[in-house]
Amino acid sequence: MSEQVETFEFQAEAQQLLQLMVHSIYSNKDVFLRELISNASDALDKLRLESFTDKDLQVDTSDLHIEIEVDREQRSLTVRDNGIGMSRSEVVQLIGTIAKSGTAELLAKVREAQESNAAELIGQFGVGFYSSFMVADRVSLLTRRAGEDEATRWESDGSGTYTVETVQEAPQGTAVTLWLKPEEAEDNLFDYASEAKIRELVQRYSDFITWPVRMEVERTAAEGGTERQVETLNSMKALWARSKDEVSDEEYAEFYKRVSRDWQDPLQTIAVQAEGTFEYQGLLFLPAHAPADLFAEDHRQGVQLYVKRVFVMDDCEALVPTYLRFVRGVVDAQDLSLNVSREILQQDRQITLMRRRLTKKVLSTIKNLMAEDTERYTTFWREFGAALKEGILSDPDNRDTILEIASFASTHDAEQLTTLQQYVERMGEDQRDIYYMTGSSRSVIESSPHIEAFRAKGYEVLLLTDPIDEVWVDSVPEFDGKPLRSIAKGEVDLDSEEDKAAEPEREQRQEEFSELLSWMTTLLGEQVKEVRLSSRLTTSPACLVSGADEMTPTMEKLYRAMGQDLPSTKRILELNPDHPLVTGLRKAHDERADSPELAETVELLHGTALLAEGGELSDPARFTRLLSDHLARDL
């Protein structure tokens, strides 16, 4: 008996997706069985967990398993589990719509990929159940949630509608039945009712599933003839519990794709084994590319947490710090309470211990990559370096390690990055500090007036262009005993012994320019704190400098972007006493200090210094008018 039969239409995007999946793009249709078994395994995980946490739930968990049933005459294949099951409302909500959060993006990716490697997009976007329509003309789902009496049947041929009905009698769990399409080798549509094919797919994709995957098969009896017997098709030995010698790179890659929902192979696999008073195992992975939402607030982070092979949490943020949010994988602990909430789990002492050890393991792996595989390290740093540098601020215990494995652009090489240790090893005997400059891009920094004297002296400068660089440099006073110093802050002392011998000449020059400097300081009093002569300029007439302990303009912009209302900081205008414009300005001031045109020239000089560092003019229209007028007078 059944009741409450309802017919629904697929949403428009779902229909497009189904048509693409069924008719055009997927060359590897084998993945459908992987997806159905994975869904069944998740249902068993959830039932086992709920039986621990809900003592009122009366369920038998003594023989949780996945069963594959084949009817060769009807050409049907059923994947059945005795897991948590679904209620009618869950069926309508979860099965009635396709990949609610990702359908549009999937369609765009599918159209872009077409026949190249689009088969991997299924796992990426979590539409595994619907992969059934690649191999089936009709799909039926019968499910009963643990603890409920009524079951629900969902059925569709994928053409545009589906039905949902309530069924009075059905076993607990979920059974998905596929009425298979005819075999068609040219379309890579194989005989999925074949025992050999099913066995191949289970062992390739689902051998690591914790639960037994069983199938009734026909075998030759000892006394002749044939008999039916049930066999377990998978090893049930979790991949992370197997010796590395027993696992191939392909198996690791397939496991990574399942837990990460990525479609590329991982960059690095990290096997974790901790023994002693607190035991746990795991597999962690460094991805080969950064997701588009790596720096988004709602970015999914954390690794899967199991306890004695029982699923506890999908994205356990407590196991890895935020700056390692790109790490994916599984950690399986031997002694954690299952009946805990997320909040309690975050504070668990053993979780804290695991987090500390896993962090050190990941960082040491990156350090080994740097030493042993430059190409893969370079790929890692390009994709995740900006995130990793967040740990310099948030993880003081591992700050030194992160600084050791960090790489930066510098003036030493236009292409290759450098580590801080390599920088220190190249420092000359007369260089005391590690020089750096922050900015929006390498080209902006390299064209900055601040860098001129350092280039002329042959001093290497680190070029820091990530937004996080503006923050962490202020928290790291030194590396290997060498102070870190911004070339755009405070006064610089680049004088050699020969330069210091010319100190009397410098003092005389300071006296010669004193009146001009005082007049300009007064004239620009609303914009600058001081006007002084520079020792960092060789070709530019002027530059703007922050005080040694003051916030940079870029940092001010970052805080304002976060809603912080900060007072404007007055900076220091430094002049190059050897530049013709500055010497001409001094001469003109001696002759006609009250000239309006001279004051306008000073305003233009300040504006060009601001533009040279990538700053913004407070009144661009006035600056343009003054510049046009002065150019016209010179013609």
pLDDT given for residue 226 in this prediction: 83
Q: Tokens representing 508? A: 């005389």
Instruction: Give the whole-angstrom CA distance, residue 425 versus residue 476.
Output: 19
pLDDT given for residue 342 in this prediction: 45
Helix (H, G, I), strand (E, B) or coil at 592: helix
pLDDT given for residue 100 in this prediction: 44
Instruction: Give the whole-angstrom CA distance, residue 135 versus residue 191.
Output: 10
Instruction: Give the whole-angstrom CA distance, residue 423 versus residue 75.
Output: 68
Considering the entire predicted model, what is its pTM? 0.68
In SS3 terms, 274-326 reads as: ECCCCCEEEEEEECCCCCCCCCCCCCCCCEEEEECCEEEEEEEHHHCCHHHCC
Instruction: Give the whole-angstrom CA distance, residue 536 versus residue 546.
Output: 13
Instruction: Give the whole-angstrom CA distance, residue 118 versus residue 482.
Output: 51
* Residue 37: count of CB within 10 angstroms of its CB: 24
Contact in structure between 519 and 597 (CB atoms under 8 Å): no
Start-end of H helices in 81-211: 88-90, 103-113, 121-125, 195-205
Cβ partners under 8 Å of residue 79, min gap 6 = 33, 36, 37, 40, 66, 67, 68, 175, 176
Helix (H, G, I), strand (E, B) or coil at 499: helix
pLDDT given for residue 138 in this prediction: 94
* Residue 225: count of CB within 10 angstroms of its CB: 7
- Amino acid at residue number 51: S
* Residue 566: count of CB within 10 angstroms of its CB: 11
Helix (H, G, I), strand (E, B) or coil at 391: helix
Q: Is beta strand 161-167 parallel, antiparallel or unpaired with respect to 151-156? A: antiparallel
Contact in structure between 405 and 363 (CB atoms under 8 Å): yes
pLDDT given for residue 384 in this prediction: 96
Helix (H, G, I), strand (E, B) or coil at 328: strand
Task: Please name which of 69, 76, 216, 73 lies closest in space to residue 140, comparing C-alpha atoms.
Answer: 76
Contact in structure between 307 and 332 (CB atoms under 8 Å): yes
Burial classification of residue 627, based on how many CB atoms lie within 10 Å of its CB (0-12 exposed, 13-18 middle, 19 or more buried): middle
**Mean pLDDT for each consecutive 10-residue tract of the chain (635 residues)?**
72 67 62 86 89 86 94 95 93 64 52 45 51 90 94 89 91 96 82 93 83 91 83 87 87 88 92 84 94 82 77 79 94 68 56 90 97 95 96 95 96 94 93 92 90 90 93 92 90 63 76 92 92 90 86 72 74 92 93 89 93 85 92 81
